[in-house]
Structure 1
Amino acid sequence: MSYTDPESLSRGSRQQARQRAISEAVMEEGSVRIEALAERFDISVMTVHRDLDELEDRGLLRKSRGVATATSTSLVESSDVYRSGRQIAQKKAIARAALEFIEPGQALMLDDSTTTLHLLPHLSDKTPLTVITNTLTIMNELRNTRGTTMIGLGGDYYNWCSSFMGRMTVREIAELRADLFFMSTSAIVDDVCFHQTLETVDVKRAMFESARRRVLLVDGTKFEKRALHAMLPLADFDAVIVDSATAPEHVDRLREHGITVVIAPASSSG
């Protein structure tokens, strides 16, 4: 199959890769019959139904009367299944640049962005650390990492972003003080971070207020996107890390406004 090499991946990774390929196929065509997806990916109709049920729970698409249909662009961009497969090389480069801000002994707060996930494999080089997050994916990844103390924030669980949000989450964040907060955003409009959902905005704002230093991680595509709810001005961050493909006019404009911009070097290995 074109979407992955099945022999090189674990069962969970194969499922994630397959679901990402299915979601991209549906988004590209708008709607696809379930039988056609089963034939295209050489899997059973029952497996397609299971994958579509999970993708529907995450807000990525709809399943009705034997047809899978793409949801709106704003919801597609919010899904962690979709986002995890986009701009991977850029996100890895941004994460490597972000490591320079981390010092052993710090308390880090990480949001639910897929860019922050690329920090996780490197955190063992910076231990001891305390990691505070509302993201179940991060909790699972770090639970056996030696030298890392993890604080998991509770609340209402949202499957589409694998995270806990809501009033309970915001209250828990208010009781904590982190040394450093890493976050990303869905879109940058007029040099302000925007997101599609108010629940996400509330949590990220609370995390921002609870941290001593705040670093924004964004690839250049975010400057070309739009979302509904204003969140935080870029000027409020201690640093903004972008990838090397970010349009120079964005970098120059931010720097002219006194914003510290770090350009993450591209890696030949991706």
Structure 2
Amino acid sequence: MGRAIDVKERQTNIADYILANGFVTVDELIEKFNISRMTVHRDLDYLERAQLIQKVRNGASAQPSNIFESDFAYRERVNIHQKEEICKLATTFLHDGMSIFLDDSTTVIPLIPHLRKFKSLTVVTSCLPAIIEITQIPEVNLIVLGGIYKHKYRSSYGYFSVSAINKIHADMTILSPHSYKTGSIFEYEQDVISAKRAMLENSEKSMVLMDNSKFKQTTLYLLAKISEFDHVIIDSDVPENVIKDLENQSKDLQIAKA
């Protein structure tokens, strides 16, 4: 039993180290944790099956690719200051009495503490971290969507989730995609797209939040055209050429200042 605990602790420490550094080599892990090459590969295999990291040649990465989405824990740590500034600006488009769809993205999570300043809001979401945090805000009426829970995204998807969304009509959808390219936003999985599309189709207005990491990667599936959104909010670290593209494509582009 003691040995199993040691292995689990080591694997947790390795995962944290990879998530903190983005990419590490096998040799680096051997030296850092004083373990054999075979043990490193065995631990990386386990962490990849758990969808915490991605094994690559001679190492491991927490960075997403066009077919691999990193765990919620990694994404939550990326650009946290920029996400907070984006969410602070996003709250200026909200008012008392609104009903809001919130998606499963880590970009939207920093919005939740700002909801305390409103006297009455209704939030509809399937994102577990959001649900837990919102339960601490008595002014917010919370509607929890069901479905099949996916640990990697800390959220629920599928027929039951989409069916519930289709029975609700909200004032605003607030979401964030995995990536943006040339006037469109993209996601990894069809289930994620189905839920977010249903939110967009069942709300009066919509807002997309994107920190600068969204413009540095590519993703497989089209979610929506940026022109579909009433408001687009980005941070000030987004490259100038991308800002110009967004100005041409968006109805209303807002830049959150650091």
**Considering the TM-score relative to the shorter chain, is it more than 0.5?**
yes
Show the counterpart of 2:204.
212
**Native 8 Å contact 1:61 1:68 kept in 2:** no
Q: Give the total of aligned pairs.
A: 238
Give the alignment's TM-score, normalised by structure 2.
0.81
Which of 8, 19, 22 does residue 23 from structure 1 map onto? 19
Secondary structure of the residue aligned to 1:109 is strand
Which of 90, 96, 99 does residue 98 from structure 1 map onto? 90
Q: 1:172 offset after TM fit, Å?
A: 0.7
Which of 78, 82, 89 does residue 86 from structure 1 map onto? 78
Letter in 2 for 1:227: T
- Point out the more displaced range, 30-39 or 148-157: 30-39
Check if 1:187 corresponds to 2:198. no
Q: 1:133 offset after TM fit, Å?
A: 0.3
The structure-2 alpha-carbon separation of the partners of 1:102 and 1:32, relative to structure 1 and needing over 3 Å to count, comes to farther
**Native 8 Å contact 1:131 1:149 kept in 2:** yes
- Cα deviations across residues 161-209 of structure 1 (Å, max 9, x unaligned)? 1000011111110000111111001111221011111111111111111
Which of 109, 113, 137 does residue 121 from structure 1 map onto? 113
Show the counterpart of 1:152.
144
Secondary structure of the residue aligned to 2:160 is helix
- Cα deviations across residues 193-233 of structure 1 (Å, max 9, x unaligned)? 11111111111111111111100000123123100000100
Letter in 2 for 1:142: I
The aligned runs of 1:230-245 (5 Å cut-off) are 230-245=222-237
Q: 1:70 offset after TM fit, Å?
A: 4.3
Secondary structure of the residue aligned to 1:216 is strand
CA distance in 1, matches of 2:230, 2:198: 16
The structure-2 alpha-carbon separation of the partners of 1:57 and 1:119, relative to structure 1 and needing over 3 Å to count, comes to farther
Show the counterpart of 1:112.
104
Q: How big is the alpha-carbon RMSD for the aligned residues of Structure 1 and Structure 2?
A: 2.9
The structure-2 alpha-carbon separation of the partners of 1:105 and 1:156, relative to structure 1 and needing over 3 Å to count, comes to same
Task: Give 5+ residue unaligned stretches, structure 2.
Answer: 1-11
Secondary structure of the residue aligned to 2:162 is helix
Task: Give 5+ residue unaligned stretches, structure 1.
Answer: 1-15
Which of 192, 195, 207 does residue 200 from structure 1 map onto? 192
- Point out the more displaced range, 171-180 or 253-262: 253-262
Secondary structure of the residue aligned to 1:246 is coil
The aligned runs of 1:44-55 (5 Å cut-off) are none
The structure-2 alpha-carbon separation of the partners of 1:232 and 1:163, relative to structure 1 and needing over 3 Å to count, comes to same
Show the counterpart of 1:260.
252
**Native 8 Å contact 1:59 1:79 kept in 2:** yes
The structure-2 alpha-carbon separation of the partners of 1:241 and 1:61, relative to structure 1 and needing over 3 Å to count, comes to same
- Cα deviations across residues 109-143 of structure 1 (Å, max 9, x unaligned)? 10011011000111110131111001011111111
Check if 1:226 corresponds to 2:236. no
**Native 8 Å contact 1:31 1:70 kept in 2:** no
**Native 8 Å contact 1:110 1:182 kept in 2:** yes
